[in-house]
Amino acid sequence: MNKISLAKRLNNNKRGYLIINADQGKHKPALIEDVENEYDTLAKLSKNILKNALVIGFAETAIAIGATLASSAGAYFMQTTRENICAENEYIYFTEAHSHATEQRIVLADMKEIYERIDRIVFVEDEITTGNTIWHCIEEIESIFKGNKKYAIAPLTNTLSKERKKFFKERNVEIIYIRDINKENFEADVLDTITNGDVSRIENAPKENNIKYIDFKTDIRTRRLLNIKDLDNEIIRLEEYLEKNIDIKTLIKGKNTVTVLGTEEFIYVPLKLAQYIYENADNQSKVYVHSSTRSPIEVSKTKDYPLHTRYEVESIYDKNRQTYIYDLKKSDIFFLVSDGKDKNGENDILKAIKLAGNKDIYFIRWDNEQQL
């Protein structure tokens, strides 16, 4: 399976395994050049279905993948979300039955704005197992708009059965993917996982000293409907802001290891910042990217197992939510990039980063006055 391996979900009776893609840059740190190659490969394969399309990236693991595909074609972009992001509280709801957080939604007003202007809706996932969640979303959209829109699905990894592939083919839903694998034995494969990895639970951490804070004021809300060019241009403005305010190009010179960490659904901006750092760092520098996540996953010291350490922290978006960070690296310089505003969650994440041995830490906040 090369790029992918299996991890065991923590306390999930609906689906016991989770596919971990070593080059995805979500659950575990990945070199940014490997992430770029993975995403760009899918974008090239998807070129024909992205013309005049709305791309929807599934929260939280496929948001950066979807935004990258949209960016490759200059398309419109939306993400599904589990957050409360519009005052009207009007959403298109659908469920993801096997997930740790089953409710998914997109903003109804955003879909009303874009539906008649595009030819196709493309759903992007890191992996597709049954396609039930996407089909539920299609049914909900069409029950409202009744436009018989064209649909397509673009996952990095396809594990659909022959029956499910036939199901979508009969409904004219095209599926584009990098790799196709058989998941028949996946549940059995994770049953005997030795779950002896290192776990650190962080609660009510005090405010960390010696953190460099940068607030970047912006009007762009990444969880709403976007012309992706607007977001890409705003990220360029962020890079210019960092050049002016902290001389970031000088900061990263001579650094052998740099990590950029995003938070939960906020991963595309950190991914693009990691690309920028890689392009401006020394040739020998290793630049890693990943993010905190809602996904509870077992960790193991077994060499071939994908995740070895787990930090449990309060969410930077919701004080009542537990989130996780896996395999934090000790880096010469560390960038936490988030649009979250919960101070307790912020302190917890920064504590985890320090516990992993990091000392030179920058917290860059994507600061929109309307949270999320």
Q: Which tokens is 185 given?
A: 């034995």
Last residue of a domain, one of 190, 218, 247: 190
Q: Express each pLDDT in 188-229 by its tens digit.
A: 999 999 999 999 999 999 998 999 999 999 999 999 999 999
CB 365 within 8 A of CB 213: yes
State which residues form the domain around 266: 198-367
Q: Express each pLDDT in 95-129 by its tens digit.
A: 654 444 457 899 999 999 999 999 999 999 999 99
Q: What is the pLDDT of residue 101?
A: 47
* Whether residue 216 sits in one domain with residue 125: no
Last residue of a domain, one of 141, 162, 190: 190
* Predicted confidence (pLDDT) at residue 264 exceeds the cutoff of 60: yes
Distance of CA 366 to the CA centre of its chain: 16
Asked if residue 372 is part of any domain, the answer here is no
Give the whole-angstrom CA distance, residue 26 versus residue 24: 6
* Predicted confidence (pLDDT) at residue 317 exceeds the cutoff of 90: yes
Model-level pTM?
0.95
* Whether residue 129 sits in one domain with residue 8: yes
Q: What is the pLDDT of residue 85?
A: 87
Cis peptide bond prior to 184, omega within 30° of 0: no
pLDDT bin (cut points 50, 70, 90) of residue 371 is low
Q: Express each pLDDT in 60-79 by its tens digit.
A: 999 999 999 999 999 999 99
* Predicted confidence (pLDDT) at residue 13 exceeds the cutoff of 80: no
Mean pLDDT of the 19-28 span: 97
Q: Express each pLDDT in 167-178 by its tens digit.
A: 999 999 999 999
CB 43 within 8 A of CB 75: no
Distance of CA 272 to the CA centre of its chain: 12
Give the whole-angstrom CA distance, residue 149 versus residue 292: 35
CB 196 within 8 A of CB 65: no
Q: What is the CATH number of the domain that holds 50?
A: 3.40.50.2020
Cis peptide bond prior to 113, omega within 30° of 0: no
